[in-house]
A and B are shown apart, each in its own frame.
Chain A
Amino acid sequence: MTAEIGHFALIAAFVLAGVQMVAPMIGAHRGDIGLMELARGTALGQFALVVLSFAALVNAFVVSDFSVLNVAQNSHSAKPLLYKISGAWGNHEGSLLLWVLILTLFGAMVAAFGRNLPPTLRARTLSVQGMIAFGFMAFMLFTSNPFERLEFPPADGAGLNPLLQDPGLAFHPPFLYFGYVGLSIAFSFAVAALIEGKVDAAWARWVRPWTLAAWCGLTVGIALGSWWAYYELGWGGFWFWDPVENASFMPWLAATALLHSAIVVEKRDALKSWTILLAIVAFSMSLLGTFLVRSGVLTSVHAFATDPERGVFILALLGVAIGGSLTLYAIRAPALRAGGVFQPVSREGGLLLNNLFLSTSLATVLLGTLYPLFVDVAVNLGWLGPTKVSVGAPYFNATFGPLMAPILAAIVVGPLLSWKRSDLWEALRRLWLAAVVAFGAMALVLIYSSVEGVLPAIGIGAAVWIILGTLIEFAERIRLGRAPIGETLRRLRRVPRASVGMTTAHIGVGLVVAGVLGATVFKSESIQTMRAGDTVDVAGYGFTLDRVERVQGPNYVAERGVFRLTSDGEEIGTVNAERRNYPVEGSQTTEAGIHTIWTADLYAVLGEGSPANGWTTRLYHNPLVPWIWLGSIVMAFGGVISLSDRRLRVGAPAGRRRAAAPPVAAPAGAD
């Protein structure tokens, strides 16, 4: 029965979405308050219905109701409870329901907290949100119904892909979708503003918290996915430039650019049409990612199913949403009133530099990701002979790296520049200490590192520069050491949360840079065959294969290699590397054994083998790698701090103060 309740709730939500996309738009056009107000009820109602629907699906998974096709195909009664629940979104239909759940959650939040929004803007925003929900719910109901029943239910289910049976991956989709789909609000606001023909500082202040919240979710979601790949794939790497990874990274790049450009709109009323365009691009990237992953044009662990009908449906949704919004942009954007003028060297200039480089790198990632598809299309049209190409990680490293370098250099300087017109030398003078220490670190790396080339030195220098420079900027702000301690403390208390958030997030960037560098240039790797009792030395750490034992898990059997780790003869811990065999799903997974010592990971993978011939093992020393995830969490935490800023609080009074900020102010200003 519950599956039918879920299905009917989804149909009812679909009808409400249909009402929401039409009525408030007409209401806003005619100035009919009643029709406009309708949007709030439909948004809240839609969310309640989708929650009900989602609960019904989760329930079907928890009680293992195998008469539901989706449960039969993707679950098994012997699975641990966590993976029964996460199995609800570990498949095509269920993940779409999660998508729609988060979409309606954001719509409901705008309806509930957006009391201070002008009624017409709110009505139009919710109407656009309704259009997106309508499209996706139609997609679900017509091609991907999660509640489809089986006439003859099987005795047990087919199980969930064991790779997905992992805590990191259980929570990866909800966070990622929170980010992906959260960008829909920025999109809806942008389209609504284009229809209204008005973009001002107040608009930017409304959009920023939503973008920030989505960005935090996206950051955590990407970090969880990369952490999972790191310990589950057993390749010792954290990022493979896999098309699906890129699909989540491109919206992140656009959202990061949007966060920064919205500051300029809010503070200086400039870059307005650019910001609108970014909001459209950011959500378009989310839709493109959904298309790439869900249509199965790219194969990966995420591509649950290919059904040409589904691919065409998403492609049509994509075409309408992106094509429609860009057409509207082309028509309406030129009419937007031009904003404040600024010099190249200024806070605006710095933020613009950030935007130009982020969007250019987005373009190169997009090109690399879609290129194999272009070639496929060209082959199918007969323009090319039979050719298959793939674009590997070296392409992305060669293009993305150089484009990031200027941003990393400027990330410290930008916050020290004043609005409108500034003095670059003055800003650099304040950073002399950071520069000296960064160059010192570079020299040390050049002298002592055994790794060839200048890249390691540049990278470490950049990480030191970012972290130290950001701290110095903060110290300057509170006049640390330049004013009496009482004055400093008073200033510290008055620093806006948005500035603390920026400082935190930028330090997170520095940590990630250091971690990425450790993972790419400083890691040591050793592949060999080991028998029980053998010891292998990797970068000064001893890995001893103590024993290999058979272990019975809840729904798998594993071969577990127990490694003892030593440093200078002293034992520092043990790690278990497993090869798991899942009989139900008929597949195997690798669980790397990882020992973290904060400045490095010791990482062991067990391969095939036998007591007689020994086991193939792959051992790594990955310096600084834990910082990648630490830094990502710090970045997201910075976003959360910024989100808690009183002035950015959702539905904060729409005051239109545009005071020129003092020279040392946060991006969000210190008024």
Chain B
Amino acid sequence: MRSRKRQRLWLVSIGVLLLAGAATLALTAFEDNLVFFHSPSDIAAGKTEAGRLVRVGGLVEDGSVERTPGSPVIAFRLTDGAASTSVVYEGILPDLFREGQGVVANGRLQSDGTFVAVEILAKHDENYMPPEVADALKQTGKWRHAEGEAAVETGTGS
């Protein structure tokens, strides 16, 4: 019976060691890779640390989209109704990217206040409103009834 006890002992010790290792890995990874959501108002208030990966969400401001002919760089402004942020992105925009549409941009704030996006997310459904954007709009009182309805229909209103 002693060997069975010993077997259980080493099994448990390996398991505990492994879990401790995994917890360390997870915590270190969390420290660097938790991506916080900020609204244009947060950025305007200086709450966003430059250089750190964050998500910014809002509506693409009407008339703000600028394309440079002959270059894949696109600049536009994201607004939550109270403040807006300049975003620069190089690449192919999602199919349903357009002015007035709610989008989420992943990227980093530069020290000059522009936001360089590495990824733009806009769902392929016209009625889609990213939940973060919906919340941000509600906070600034810009949540319109029609959008609310659309968002509930497609299951993103909260």
Residues on A facing B (Cβ under 8 Å): 161-163, 234, 296, 299, 301, 303-307, 338, 341-342, 344, 352, 356-357, 360-361, 363-364, 367-368, 371, 386-392, 394-395, 398-399, 402-403, 527-529, 579, 586-590, 605, 607-608, 613-614, 616-618
For B42, the closest partner residue in chain A by CB is A386
Q: Contact between A579 and B95 (Cβ–Cβ < 8 Å)?
A: yes
Is B15 in contact with chain A by the CB < 8 A criterion? yes
Chain A: minimal CB distance from B56 (Å):
11
Is B124 in contact with chain A by the CB < 8 A criterion? yes
- Report the Cα distance A367→B33, complex, angstroms: 13
Greatest chain A CB density within 10 A among B37, B95, B128 is at B95
Q: Mind listing 8 A-B residue pairs with CB under 8 Å?
A: A296-B155, A307-B155, A363-B22, A388-B135, A394-B32, A403-B25, A590-B95, A613-B70
Chain B: minimal CB distance from A277 (Å):
12
- Report the Cα distance A509→B4, complex, angstroms: 34
- Where chain A touches its partner, the secondary structure class is mixed
Is B28 in contact with chain A by the CB < 8 A criterion? yes
**Which A residues lie within 8 Å of B96 (CB)?**
587-588
Q: Contact between B125 and A607 (Cβ–Cβ < 8 Å)?
A: no
Q: Contact between A529 and B125 (Cβ–Cβ < 8 Å)?
A: no
B29 interface neighbour in A306, A389, A395, A608, Cβ under 8 Å: A395
List 6 extra interface pairs beyond A299-B123, A528-B71, CB under 8 A.
Answer: A357-B18, A361-B22, A368-B26, A403-B22, A616-B92, A618-B91
For A394, the closest partner residue in chain B by CB is B33
- Report the Cα distance A361→B22, complex, angstroms: 8
Is B72 in contact with chain A by the CB < 8 A criterion? yes
CB contacts between A and B, total, < 8 Å? 136
Chain B window 139-152, contacts with chain A (Cβ cutoff 8 Å), 1 for yes, 0 for no:
10000000000001
Is B93 in contact with chain A by the CB < 8 A criterion? yes
- Report the Cα distance A356→B53, complex, angstroms: 33
What is the size, in residues, of chain B's interface with A at 8 Å between Cβ atoms? 51
Q: Contact between A588 and B124 (Cβ–Cβ < 8 Å)?
A: yes
For B28, the closest partner residue in chain A by CB is A398
B70 interface neighbour in A161, A163, A614, Cβ under 8 Å: A614
- Report the Cα distance A392→B4, complex, angstroms: 43
Q: Contact between A390 and B32 (Cβ–Cβ < 8 Å)?
A: no
Chain A: minimal CB distance from B94 (Å):
9
Is B126 in contact with chain A by the CB < 8 A criterion? yes
**Which A residues lie within 8 Å of B4 (CB)?**
338, 341
Chain A: minimal CB distance from B102 (Å):
12
Is B132 in contact with chain A by the CB < 8 A criterion? yes
Q: Contact between B36 and A529 (Cβ–Cβ < 8 Å)?
A: no
Q: Contact between B7 and A306 (Cβ–Cβ < 8 Å)?
A: no
- Report the Cα distance A341→B106, complex, angstroms: 52
- Report the Cα distance A307→B156, complex, angstroms: 10
Is B34 in contact with chain A by the CB < 8 A criterion? yes
**Which B residues lie within 8 Å of A579 (CB)?**
95
- Report the Cα distance A301→B32, complex, angstroms: 28
Greatest chain A CB density within 10 A among B3, B21, B32, B92 is at B92
For B152, the closest partner residue in chain A by CB is A306
**Which A residues lie within 8 Å of B26 (CB)?**
364, 367-368, 395, 399
- Report the Cα distance A242→B18, complex, angstroms: 25
A392 interface neighbour in B21, B53, B91, B92, Cβ under 8 Å: B53
- Report the Cα distance A161→B18, complex, angstroms: 44
- Report the Cα distance A161→B155, complex, angstroms: 14
Given A299-B156, A338-B4, A398-B25, answer yes or no on A391-B72 (Cβ-Cβ < 8 Å).
Answer: no
For B38, the closest partner residue in chain A by CB is A388
**Which A residues lie within 8 Å of B152 (CB)?**
306
Q: Contact between B123 and A607 (Cβ–Cβ < 8 Å)?
A: no
